[in-house]
């Protein structure tokens, strides 16, 4: 996860966002899309935004270009989809492909977040796997 700012068109204001960047082939995120599409492998600057960012920036829609300031650099992204998530999320979460974000941040092959799916998905198995991971 990276923290960044989506700048207004005139760059006078910004909305802080959390950027999550799963690998293109990940099946762990299953968003409820309300417009556009989910990320595809090879999306160079594709961005999927959520209803929480739309609440702050109601002008945004699929196809728009947005400027995001990340690591004190401005980069241009294209909104390819909009998803809906219940609850109140602060800061709003946006998604892009890991491969692209890692190049933008000069952090190729660096992992900042790891998720593990167990089978079966019961509490005992999850606890056993967590202990095994902590021991390594």
Contact 17, 4 (CB under 8 A): yes
> Measuring CA to CA, which residue among 48, 31, 23, 28 is closest to residue 115?
28
| Spatial distance between the Cα atoms of 50 and 68, rounded to a whole number of angstroms | 15
Angle at 68 between CA 55 and CA 105, to 5 degrees: 135
**The CATH number of domain 2-111, selected from 2.40.10, 1.10.260, 3.90.380, 2.40.40:** 2.40.40
Identify the pLDDT of residue 108: 61
Give the SS3 label for residue 15.
strand
Render each residue's pLDDT in the chain as its tens digit; 136 residues: 789 999 999 999 999 999 998 877 778 888 999 999 999 988 889 999 999 999 999 999 999 999 999 989 999 999 999 999 999 888 999 999 888 787 776 666 655 556 677 788 888 888 888 888 888 8
Identify the pLDDT of residue 105: 67
Length of the chain: 136
Contact 42, 24 (CB under 8 A): yes
Contact 50, 89 (CB under 8 A): yes
| Spatial distance between the Cα atoms of 93 and 110, rounded to a whole number of angstroms | 20
Identify the pLDDT of residue 14: 95
């Amino acid at each position: 996860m990276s923290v960044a700012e989506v700048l207004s068109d005139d760059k006078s204001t910004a909305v802080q966002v959390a950027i999550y960047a799963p690998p293109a082939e990940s099946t762990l995120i299953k968003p409820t899309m309300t417009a556009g599409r989910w990320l595809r492998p090879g999306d160079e600057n594709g961005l999927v935004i959520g209803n929480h960012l739309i609440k702050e920036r109601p002008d945004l829609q699929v196809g728009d270009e947005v400027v995001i300031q990340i690591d004190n650099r401005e980069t241009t992204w294209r909104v390819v989809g909009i998803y809906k998530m219940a609850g109140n999320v602060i800061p709003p979460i946006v998604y892009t492909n890991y491969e692209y974000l890692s190049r933008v941040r000069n952090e190729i092959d660096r992992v900042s977040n790891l998720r593990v799916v167990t089978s079966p998905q019961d509490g005992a198995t999850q606890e056993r796997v967590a202990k095994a991971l902590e021991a390594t």
